[in-house]
Amino acid sequence: MYDNVADQAALGPWERYEAVARSVRDVLSQRWVLTEKTYERENPKRVYYLSMEFLIGRSLSNNILNLLLDPAIERAAADKDLDWLAVLEQEPDAGLGNGGLGRLAACFIDSMATMQLPAMGYGLRYEYGIFKQTIQDGWQVEQPDNWLRRPDPWEIARPGETVEVQLGCSFEVRGGSLGVVVGRPSSLLGIPYDRPVVGYGGKTVNTLRLWAAAAPDYFDFRAFSAGEFVSALAERLTAESLTRVLYPDDSTSMGQGLRFVQEYFLVACSLADLVRRFRRHDSDWTALPAKVAIQLNDTHPSLAVPELMRILLDEAQLGWDQAWGLTRQTLAYTNHTLLPEALEKWPLPWFALLLPRHLEIILEINRRLVDEVRTRFPGDDGRVERVALIEEGSERRIRMANLAIVGTHSTNGVASIHSELLRTVTVKDLTETFPERFSNKTNGVTPRRWLLLANPHLAHSITRAIGDGWITDLDELARLRPLADDKGFGDAVSAAKREAKTQFANWLKLTSGVTVDPDTIFDCQIKRIHEYKRQLLNALRVVVLYDRLRQNPDLEMAPRTFFFAGKAAPAYHLAKIIIKFLNSLAGTIDGDPAVRGRLKVVFLPEYCVSLAERLIPATDVSNQISTAGYEASGTSNMKFMMNGALTIGTRDGATIEMAEAAGEENFFMFGLTAEQVAGSRSWYSPQWHYDNEPETRAALDLIFSDHFSRYEPGIFEPLRQTLLTGGDNYMHLADLTAYLEADRRLLELYADPMGWARKVILNVAGSGRFSSDRTIGEYAAEIWDVKPCPVP
């Protein structure tokens, strides 16, 4: 294979990539087959992770690393003078997700394979992933992500394992538009495309199975009249468009019909597939929870509750109570957000049309639930109304979160504060009804991709200091603690950071022409653009610092580069204005000789997994500044921490636990707590801050005076509305001065390189808990009850 790799040097870059990828796939395919064979033989309890999103990124370098092939490949590449980095660059990111939720799914399947758990991921094979972002005149422009334009060497179609999905209605084209034909059932095919998931060390190779939709092939075309022929083809077109595109909304439910069908399609295909596998080994349906654990990544796949009930009632012919017990014991649900706009509620008429049997089942679940709650809490009609699966109103809707909590044995949040708020605020009544179902599983990220692969210099320094056990046991990093004051290790860590910054600066120059100086502080905020994540608060900080330098050119201030990156949902207008503002800020500061060389803002377009892998190792300062109580967990916060960035952040999500792990004194925490945010809602006045804080007022006045929009006056008026006159829902102004104060402390430390390195080491040493291996260990022990099934 190594010859094969190097012999490709004469070919074009894509052909070389494809050849290397195919060689690597050949190497792993034996293990892949053997893994499934082992599971078939041992028949262990298996985990199925159902997720509408898997934000995988690139696979080649990750698979090489996990197969421990990197030294051999590097040698072969060097021998034949192969431009290895150019080969890696050929691979498109598999962007089948929006942000944190999809990336979590990708980290989880890596951890499950590394921990040798018999696990499988189920998702959809979107032909178009998350859109490509370009910036034109400072505005976000979306372009389709045709990532499968060229054949993907990592996927294998398995048409032999196709499943059929039944729908309660049909679709046909009438007069050029798509209509629903009520009461005429139809069906769809789900074709599985398998991708290998290589565990570290290459022992276990699990499968990520993605479904593509197709129309069934059993039409007898000769039997159709001309009109029917056209509508039959149209039906085929409809079927295939179902998995065409990923919905680009993050932490928001857009409530569109096609998305509803996508969600059902994922559930129906995956359950049909896993039930078929289960039945090959076990004829006794009651063994289901002993052999199968299904984790629902948010409510998106929560139709699994009525779908599994349908299978057990109608296909297995079990009675209600038995079917219900098995369903609940098999399913578990992860909640990802408390934002009201993210809670899925599907119109009841859609169920009636598309999934009439499922509606029947949901209504029966609801009837029994309401009976139980009435009995246990007599006279408490408010409670009954709140726990019910159906939201009454002019349009009745099914509350998918309630369905998921009621229909599973486990509901977990993704960070301690999030799980607590979920229990005590968001679904308080359901928690009081089923307290034993709720738990916390703080998120994590895979240290293989996010440290070993992304940051080879730091990884190497760590391995030299404590050995390489940390790669699969990240708690080992705690052994770096005694080295906090070790000059040699501190220098190695600083040198690794410096190297990553230089590499990033070179890459940026080469690919975009933008120059950044590695001798400045790299200060980053990269994540989806959302009001609650408060990129605007960061922008206000930059405006204040900029204004200080304008007012006082002799001011001493370490030179800094502020990086922003992130996509806005295409329909989220304010988020798009925030992107425009960040670009205007960057342009104005670049054009102002008063601050040249001291302050720079860069908006990096097309935030994706590969960009994160480049920028995070190069970062000095990580901004995690959501309004407290709004960020469920965050995971980029963890990636930054293990890569030796210091965090400036609010007490929100997993950042709270990170500060605990590293010691609060090694974090730069500021701002209102979630409790304070909730408690000051009724009297909070952004205007007060404008009237009483000179720097806040000066910053806002600078924005409203069109200083950053000289040639487009008035375009940032919506910012006045959101920050001032509209009540500042996310409390930017309430936290701005505290943010600046934390920033001042941070700069003070930066002036002391030894002190800085010390805190960096203590942060890395404290990041062990935030490996997704730890998270998966908790799911396996406390929710799934699955054990490793090693492949011989």
Ligand X SMILES: *Cc1c(COP(=O)(O)O)cnc(C)c1O
Q: Which is nearer to ligand X, 54 or 351 (CB)?
A: 54
Q: Which is nearer to ligand X, 406 or 654 (CB)?
A: 654
Q: Does 629 bind ligand X (CB under 6 A)?
A: no
Span 1-60, contacts to ligand X by CB under 6 A: 55
Q: Which is nearer to ligand X, 121 or 653 (CB)?
A: 653
- CA nearest neighbour of 763 among 612, 640, 634: 640
Determine whether 635 is an active site residue.
yes
Determine whether 336 is an active site residue.
yes
Span 498-537, contacts to ligand X by CB under 6 A: 527-528
Among positions 609, 628, 648, 746, the unique one binding ligand X when judged by CB under 6 A: 609
Q: Which is nearer to ligand X, 50 or 612 (CB)?
A: 612
Give the active site residue among 328, 409, 423, 527.
527
Considering the complex, what minimum distance in angstroms separates the CB of residue 565 from ligand X?
A: 9
Q: Which is nearer to ligand X, 443 or 709 (CB)?
A: 443
Determine whether 396 is an active site residue.
no
Give the active site residue among 399, 528, 600, 651.
528
Considering the complex, what minimum distance in angstroms separates the CB of residue 630 from ligand X?
A: 11
Q: Does 634 bind ligand X (CB under 6 A)?
A: yes
What three-state secondary structure class fits 519? coil
Among positions 608, 618, 628, 632, the unique one binding ligand X when judged by CB under 6 A: 608
**Nearby residues of 262 by Cβ (< 8 Å), 6 or more positions away:** 52, 124, 242, 243, 247
Give strand ranges (E) for 184-342: 186-198, 205-214, 292-297, 331-334
Considering the complex, what minimum distance in angstroms separates the CB of residue 25 from ligand X?
A: 24
Q: Which is nearer to ligand X, 235 or 298 (CB)?
A: 298
How far apart (Å, rounded) are the C-alpha atoms in residues 412 and 362?
22
Residue 723: count other Cβ atoms within 10 Å of its Cβ: 27
Q: Which is nearer to ligand X, 599 or 612 (CB)?
A: 612
CA dihedral over 535, 541, 543, 546, signed as positive or negative: negative
Span 636-675, contacts to ligand X by CB under 6 A: 636, 639
Structure tokens at 24: 């690597």
Considering the complex, what minimum distance in angstroms separates the CB of residue 566 from ligand X?
A: 8
Give the active site residue among 533, 689, 759, 774.
533
Q: Which is nearer to ligand X, 445 or 791 (CB)?
A: 445
Give the active site residue among 327, 337, 411, 635.
635
DSSP secondary structure string for all residues of 313-376: IIIS---HHHHHHHHHHHEEEE-----GGGS-EEEHHHHHHH-HHHHHHHHHHHHHHHHHHHHH
Task: Report CA dihedral (150, 155, 156, 160) to the nearest 10 degrees.
Answer: -100
Q: Which is nearer to ligand X, 100 or 138 (CB)?
A: 100
Q: Which is nearer to ligand X, 291 or 449 (CB)?
A: 449
**Nearby residues of 321 by Cβ (< 8 Å), 6 or more positions away:** none
For residue 143, the one-letter residue type is: Q
How many whole angstroms from its chain centre is CA 172?
A: 35
Give the active site residue among 209, 328, 336, 397.
336
Considering the complex, what minimum distance in angstroms separates the CB of residue 527 from ligand X?
A: 3
Considering the complex, what minimum distance in angstroms separates the CB of residue 242 from ligand X?
A: 25
How far apart (Å, rounded) are the C-alpha atoms in residues 639 and 646?
11
Considering the complex, what minimum distance in angstroms separates the CB of residue 523 from ligand X?
A: 15
Contact 526, 566 (CB under 8 A): yes
What DSSP element (H or E) covers 382? helix 381-387
Among positions 262, 297, 538, 635, the unique one binding ligand X when judged by CB under 6 A: 635
The number of residues that bind ligand X (CB under 6 A) is 14
DSSP secondary structure string for all residues of 113-162: HHTT--EEEEEE--SB-SPEEEEETTEEEEE---TTSS--TT-EE-GGG-
Stretch that binds ligand X, among 23-31, 485-493, 631-639, 774-782 (CB under 6 A): 631-639
Query: What character string, x for contact with ligand X (CB under 6 A) and - otherwise, covers 66-105?
Result: ---------------------------------xx--x--
To the nearest 10 degrees (0 to 180), the angle between helices 655-662 and 753-765 is 110
Q: Does 444 bind ligand X (CB under 6 A)?
A: no
Query: What character string, x for contact with ligand X (CB under 6 A) and - otherwise, covers 99-138?
Result: xx--x-----------------------------------
Determine whether 281 is an active site residue.
no
Burial of 26 (0-12, 13-18, 19+ CB in 10 A): exposed
Structure tokens at 543: 């405006």
DSSP state of 605: S
Stretch that binds ligand X, among 323-331, 382-390, 569-577, 634-642 (CB under 6 A): 634-642
How far apart (Å, rounded) are the C-alpha atoms in residues 350 and 745?
55
Stretch that binds ligand X, among 317-325, 333-341, 410-418, 601-609 (CB under 6 A): 601-609
DSSP state of 483: G
Stretch that binds ligand X, among 223-231, 408-416, 589-597, 607-615 (CB under 6 A): 607-615
Considering the complex, what minimum distance in angstroms separates the CB of residue 100 from ligand X?
A: 4
Among positions 293, 458, 612, 615, the unique one binding ligand X when judged by CB under 6 A: 612
- CA nearest neighbour of 344 among 282, 316, 302: 302
Contact 455, 643 (CB under 8 A): yes
Contact 500, 229 (CB under 8 A): no
Give the footprint of ligand X on this chain (CB under 6 A).
55, 99-100, 103, 527-528, 607-609, 612, 634-636, 639
Q: Known catalytic residues?
A: 336, 527-528, 533, 635, 639
